[in-house]
Chains A and B, each alone.
Chain A
Amino acid sequence: MSLIKKAIDWGTKKSPWIIHFNAGACNGCDIETIDSLTPRYDLERVGILKQGSPRHADVLICTGAVTLQTRDRLIQIYEQMSDPKFVIAIGTCACTGGIFEDCYCVTGGIDSVIPVDVYIPGCAVRPEAIISAVDKLLGSLDNDKKEGGGNYES
Chain B
Amino acid sequence: MNREEAIVNSICGRFPFLADRIYIQKDKRIFTKSLLREEFEQVIAYVHDELNFTRVSHVVGTDDGENLGLLYIFSGSEDILLILRESVPKSNPVIKSISDMYPSIVLHERELVDLFGVVVEGLPEGPHYPLPDGWPEGNYPMRKEWNPKHFNKDTMTYEEPQEKEVQKNE
The distance from the CB of A17 to the nearest CB of chain B, in whole angstroms, is 30
In the assembled complex, which residues on chain A have CB atoms less than 8 Å from the CB atom of B148?
A: 102-104
Interchain CB contact under 8 A, A105 and B149 = no
With A and B bound together, what is the CA distance between A105 and B151 in angstroms?
10
With contact pairs A102-B149, A104-B151 given, residues A67 and B141 touching in the complex (Cβ less than 8 Å): no
The closest CB in chain A to the CB of B146 belongs to A104
How big is the B interface, by class? 10 to 19
Question: B125 at the A/B interface (Cβ < 8 Å)?
Answer: no
Contact for B133 among A69, A104, A107, CB less than 8 A: A69
Is B132 within 8 A of A67, CB to CB? Answer: yes
Please count how many residues in chain A sit with their CB below 8 Å of the partner chain's CB atoms.
8
Min distance, Cβ B44 to any Cβ of chain A, angstroms: 31
Chain B nearest CB, measured from A67 CB (Å): 7
Q: From residue B111, how far is it (CB to closest CB) to chain A in Å? A: 13
Residue B153 is within 8 A (CB to CB) of chain A in the complex: yes
Docked-complex contact B149 and A68, CB < 8 angstroms: no
> Taking the nearest CB of chain A, how far is it from the CB of B47, in angstroms?
34
Q: How far is the CA of A105 from the CA of B153 in the complex (A)?
A: 8
A54-83 CB contact bits vs B (8 Å, 1 = yes)? 000000000000011100000000000000
B107 proximal to A (CB < 8 A): no
Give min CB distance, B34 to chain A, whole Å: 27
Q: Is B131 an interface residue (CB 8 A)?
A: yes
Distance A102 CA – B149 CA, assembled complex (angstroms): 7
**Contacting residues of chain A (68-116) with chain B, CB-CB under 8 angstroms:** 68-69, 102-105, 107
Hey, which chain B residues are within 8 Å of A68, CB to CB?
132, 135, 153, 156
With A67-B132, A104-B151 given, can you name 16 additional A-B contacts, CB distance below 8 Å? A68-B132, A68-B135, A68-B153, A68-B156, A69-B132, A69-B133, A102-B148, A102-B149, A103-B148, A104-B141, A104-B146, A104-B148, A105-B131, A105-B132, A105-B141, A107-B153
Q: Which A residues lie at the B interface, using CB under 8 A?
A: 67-69, 102-105, 107
Query: Which residues of B approach A to under 8 Å, CB–CB?
Result: 131-133, 135, 141, 146, 148-149, 151, 153, 156
18 contacts between A and B (CB under 8 A): A67-B132, A68-B132, A68-B135, A68-B153, A68-B156, A69-B132, A69-B133, A102-B148, A102-B149, A103-B148, A104-B141, A104-B146, A104-B148, A104-B151, A105-B131, A105-B132, A105-B141, A107-B153
